[in-house]
Amino acid sequence: MKRNVIIAFGLAILIVLCSQLAIAQKRANSFATLKIKPQKVMIQTFYNGKDISVEAEVPQDIEVVALSCEGPEETLNLMRKGRVYGLWMNVEEILFQKIPAIYFLVTSKKLTELYDKGEIRGIQLGYEGLYSKIKIEKEKEKKKEFFDQLIKLKESDKLYLVSEGGLKVTRLNNKINKIITTFYLPPKAPPGEYRINLFARKNSEINLIGNQTLTVEKKGLTAYLSSMAINHGLVYGVVAVIIAIISG
């Protein structure tokens, strides 16, 4: 009986400690409060992109340095063109893995000014940070070359953008600073979950201090056609040809 009481008492203490640790961890990861408008975007027939507004409030003793929108991760299989007997042809297949479909980054300073003496501590921001995370199934000596071409392709489609020095921080009151920014979600942005991340610097180290999720979904005719293309490819192909003939 006494042994059971001791075990029950020990379990109770353990549960209390775990709950306190969870609360402490939650507080540690909640330095900033982010608000996204809208938090869900519906892709419908006449969808032509959407402006996303992001607001954040942070204590004044925290130096906010950047805000990003990333995701969802995708795998890209691209072909590199080259000259063969004087003709431009596909000459090489390049597989990119763990690539965010969207990457927008706005910083409070130039990226080179965020790291003391060029030393990178904590999270690495910008395209160099992406380069360190993605996988390219090709020779190492060509990886940087292929990555740079990918960035140019993404930027031309308005899917990637790095704005250095564009993040503005204003004083809300004696204790709180406020960040307001807007980014444009282009029509080519695919459905999925996007992460809105807020970064701050302390002791020369950059860390994540807050995040929110932006959801993009297809709806109505757009969702129906997308489902048909995946599940009924032949029917979709026939419908597409008929529409093309009618429209001229």
pLDDT, residue 6, reads: 54
pLDDT, residue 230, reads: 52
The amino acid occupying position 124 is Q
Taken as a whole, the chain contains a residue count of 248
Whole-number CA gyration radius for the chain: 24
Q: Who has greater pLDDT, 140 or 229? A: 140
Q: Who has greater pLDDT, 54 or 46? A: 54
Taken in order 99, 137, 152, 47, the sign of the CA dihedral is: negative
Q: Who has greater pLDDT, 218 or 54? A: 54
pLDDT for 214 beyond 60? yes
Model confidence over 136-155: pLDDT tens digits?
876 667 788 888 989 999 99
pLDDT for 99 beyond 70? yes
pLDDT, residue 234, reads: 59
pLDDT, residue 16, reads: 46
Q: What percent of the chain lies above the pLDDT cut of 90? A: 27
Read out DSSP for the chain? -HHHHHHHHHHHHHHHHHHHHHHHHHHHT-S-EEEEESSEEEE-TT---EEEEEEEEEETTSEEEEEEEEEEEEEEEEEEEEEETTEEEEEEEEEEEEEEEEEEEEESS-HHHHSGGG---BPPPSHHHHHHH-EE-S-HHHHHHHHHHHHHHHHHTT-EEEETT---EEE-SSSEEEEEEEEEE-TTPPSEEEEEEEEEEETTEEEEEEEEEEEEEE-THHHHHHHHHHH-HHHHHHHHHHHHHHH-
Over residues 207-225, mean pLDDT:
77
Q: Who has greater pLDDT, 183 or 78? A: 183
Q: Who has greater pLDDT, 138 or 185? A: 185
Model confidence over 24-36: pLDDT tens digits?
344 444 567 889 9
pLDDT for 206 beyond 70? yes
pLDDT, residue 140, reads: 66
Over residues 225-244, mean pLDDT:
57
Whole-structure pTM value: 0.72
pLDDT for 129 beyond 50? yes
Over residues 218-233, mean pLDDT:
54
Cβ-Cβ contacts under 8 Å for 191 (sequence gap 6 or more):
43, 216, 217, 218
pLDDT, residue 195, reads: 94
The amino acid occupying position 115 is Y
